[in-house]
Amino acid sequence: HQLKVPEETTNTAAQKAETRPIKVGDYVKPTGKKYATGQTIPNWVKERSHKVSQIKGDRVLLGNPSGINSWVYLSEVSLV
């Protein structure tokens, strides 16, 4: 016998969510606890979206020149 898994037990929402690489010009929200430089990210920064100004390796520069101008890890931002 082959066990049938009901449709509703699969994570269809995650499968439907569009995932694409973050690029310069996108708006993101930081999700990590610390900047790439080690300082703690304040809550007000996490509550707002910030424009990606530059991408270098595993880090993104947010809000340059007229924003927060801070580096965070690419793995710790979410696209808005």
Q: Which domains does the chain have, with CATH numbers?
A: 22-79 (2.30.30)
Q: What average pLDDT does the segment 36-49 reach?
A: 97
Q: Write down the pLDDT at residue 36.
A: 98
User: For every residue of the chain, which 3-state class applies, written as one string?
Assistant: CCCCCCHHHCCHHHHHCCCCCCCCCCEEEECCCECCCCCECCHHHHCCCEEEEEEECCEEEECCCCCCCEEEEHHHEEEC
Q: Write down the pLDDT at residue 15.
A: 46
Which pTM value belongs to this model? 0.75
